[in-house]
Structure 1
């Protein structure tokens, strides 16, 4: 864990600190996604190519699932966990 800073340029660009790139497993030229929740909390994740990294993320399904609903529920659960961790 840590806290890292990056200064923005006149174009709004910032260099991602090496510690953050390592934590994300972000290669040179890699893509990042910025996810903003309803409370303004921003998460940065490395965008992965392919789908192998999400295998099993929604648990085992008995049949077809609504992927949009599964994503929503996963984000909702993770946001609830983050809020619990932030409570004093």
Structure 2
């Protein structure tokens, strides 16, 4: 298990094993995600929204704004 010590300034050094596992490099950002019950997950936050381009395929047929609004309205009426 990797451990770190908090300095008087509230800083820690992330152990090399953890940095390697997260793919972190100098200047990268991380996020602390509250899992509840005093537990947190550390996630690399180095990727921009632009990195998501191409992850989702375009629909086979275009969807109109009216169709989207109708789907939202139907889903909203079921949630109540």
Q: TM-score range by the shorter chain?
A: 0.5 to 0.7
TM-score by length of 2: 0.59
Q: CA deviation at 1:38?
A: 2.8
5+ residue gaps, structure 1, are 67-88
Q: Which has the higher contact order (CA 8 A, sep 6+)?
A: 2
> Residue 29 of structure 1 aligns with which residue?
27
TM-score by length of 1: 0.55
Q: Secondary structure at the match of 2:17?
A: helix
**Bigger-Rg structure (1/2):** 2
Root-mean-square deviation (CA, aligned residues, Å) is 2.9
Distance 2:38 2:17 in 1: 23
> Residue 14 of structure 1 aligns with which residue?
12
Q: CA deviation at 1:41?
A: 1.9
